[in-house]
Structure 1
């Protein structure tokens, strides 16, 4: 995504579908569905406009949601919240 490439991912109950969202930066397929995966690969293989659109969206998402500064700020906020919760037990 950071290099402007779209994603094919699965709809697992993880953060992956949130990072690369279906219809925006990705095509999300059902896990273990080989035909659906094949169709997604075919769409990207033959639709350069779709690849470009989703790739540009992917790069924008990385820059806006997963950049270094934002990562550091979110990590610091999480640690601060954990320290506050931890001090309640001390």
Structure 2
């Protein structure tokens, strides 16, 4: 197959900067905590604040790390791949 410059695969996407990573984490964590707090509010209403925080964090961290962050990394890679080379 001839090498066509228009059909070359882009190189690997560099890791996000600390600012990009902070934004990605914020985009994953804020809605997750909001949904969990609203969804569990009646169930955890009488729970002490520290225990409630431990419960919500124990549910939120796997959702963010294994569910949302990989998707955000893929989305970032796709967005960067669509940009013209600099």
Give the number of the structure with larger relative contact order, counting CA–CA contacts within 8 Å between residues 6 or more apart: 2
Same fold (TM over 0.5): no
Shorter-chain TM-score: which interval? Answer: 0.3 to 0.5
Mark the structure with the bigger radius of gyration: 2
Higher strand fraction: Structure 1 or Structure 2?
1
Higher helix fraction: Structure 1 or Structure 2?
2
Q: TM-score, normalised by structure 1?
A: 0.37
